[in-house]
Amino acid sequence: MFDLITIGRSNMDLYSSDIGADFVDATGFIPQVGGSPTNIAIGTAQLGLKSAALTAVGHDLVGDYILHYLQRKGVDISLVKRKAGLSSLALLGVQPPDHFPLLFYRENPPDIWLTIDDLPDLRQTRAFLISGTALARGTCAEATMYAAEEAQQLDCTTYLDLDLRPDQWTHTMGFGIAMRQIIPMVDVVIGTEEELWAAINRDPAGWHGHEAITPNERAEVEEWIRERSAAPGQPQTIVLKRGKAGVTIFETGQQALDVPGFPVEVLNTVGAGDAFASGLIFSRVHGRSWFDSGRFANACGAVVVTRHGCAEAMPSLSEVTQFMENYE
C-alpha cells in the first residue's frame, strides 16, 4: 500500500555549477533528478510518505542514474518502466533568484509512452498525483485520463498539479483543452494564477505562457474558481498559489481560505512549487485541516527557495518543523 503514486515525466537535471553566471559561461553541471511529478514523489518521501513514481526511463545510463537516485531518496521504483528511447535530460542555468534558463532534451522520451497496461491498481494507494504535462504527448495522455477515471471511482484522493510547460505541447492551446477535460475528474487542483489562466483561456490571442496575468485575467480566474466551487461534479478543492503572498484555498461550500506564506530571502525558486505540493499532500494524507496543510506546504516551499537545486533541496519533516518553530 502506498501513500502516494505520481504519474508523469522524469529526467536527469543538470544544474550549472556556476551560480549567477550566464548559461554560455557555465563551466560545469551538477546532476540531480527532476520532472515535477517525480520531484513530488521525492519531496513526499523525504517527509516520510511511502511514495512511488509511475514513469518510464530508457535502457541507458541516464535511466540507471534516475533509478539509483530515486532509490537513494526513498522513492519506490517498482512502478518505473524501462522503454525504448533515450531517457530525458534537462539543462538549467542558475541565475538567482528567479532566472533559470531551461533546455529540455525530450524529443521522444520514454515517459510519454506509458500505457494503460502500465497502470497499477489504484486501490493500492491513498493519493494519486497527476502532472498536467503527462497529458501533453504520447500514450501517457490516454493512460493518465484512464487513471483519473479509475481513481474517481475509488477512495483515492486525486491531485492535479497543472505544471505548465509550454514547450511540451504541440500547440499553445493544447494545455487548456486537456486541463478542461481532466479537471472535473480530480479532487484537488493545484496551480498558480498564470497556470489557471492558461487552463481556462480559450482565445489563442490571450496566451502568454509564464508571463504575469493582467488584473482582468486574474478576475476571470477567480470568477471561474467560484463557479467551479458552486457546481456539482467539479473538484472539491482548488489551491491557488500566490507566491510570496501564500495561497488561497477554495473548497466547495466554504469561504475562500487565505493562508499566509513565510517571507524569506529567496535564493532559488526552481523547486518551490514541487515542495509546496509535497507538503500539501503529506499534510492531507495525515488528516490535517486545509489551513494547516496550506501553512505546512508554504513552509516547505519557503525552505526550498533558500537552497540551490530542486530534488536535492527537498526538506525532511524535522527540517520543516524546525523552520516553522523558529519562524513563530
Please give the torsion angle defined by the CA atoms of residues 262, 266, 268 and 271, in that order, rounded to the nearest 10 degrees: 10
Classified as helix, coil or strand, 58 is: strand
Dihedral sign for Cα atoms in the order 32, 38, 44, 50: negative
- In 121-171 the beta strands, taken as DSSP E runs, fall at 125-131, 157-161
Distance in Å from the first CA to the final CA of the chain: 36
Helix ranges (DSSP H) in 135-271? 140-152, 174-182, 193-200, 215-230
Output the tens digit of pLDDT for each of the chain's 328 residues: 999 999 999 999 999 998 889 999 999 999 999 999 999 999 999 999 999 999 999 999 999 999 999 999 999 999 999 999 999 999 988 888 778 888 899 999 999 999 999 999 999 999 999 999 999 999 999 999 999 999 999 989 999 999 999 999 999 899 999 999 999 999 999 999 999 999 999 999 898 877 889 999 999 999 999 888 777 777 999 999 998 889 999 999 899 999 999 999 988 888 999 999 999 999 999 999 999 999 999 999 999 999 988 999 999 999 999 999 998 7
Return the bridge partners of 103, or none.
91
pTM for the model stands at 0.96
> Of the CATH numbers 3.30.70.360, 3.40.1190.20, 3.40.50.740, 3.20.80.10, which one belongs to the domain with range 2-327?
3.40.1190.20
Compute the distance between CA of residue 206 and CA of residue 175 in angstroms, rounded to an integer: 13
DSSP 3: E
Residue identified by cell 519506490 is 76
CA distance 230 to 170: 33
Backbone angles phi, psi at 159, to 5 degrees: -110, 140
Residues 196 and 240: beta-carbon distance below 8 Å: yes
The radius of gyration of the chain's CA atoms, rounded to the nearest angstrom, is 18
CA pair distance 285, 134, nearest whole angstrom: 23
Instruction: For residue 247, give every residue at least 6 positions away whose Cβ sits within 8 Å of its Cβ, in sequence order, or none.
Output: 239, 240, 241, 258, 259, 261, 276, 294, 297, 298
DSSP secondary structure, 245-259, as one string: G-EEEEETTS--EEE
Domain boundaries, the chain: 2-327
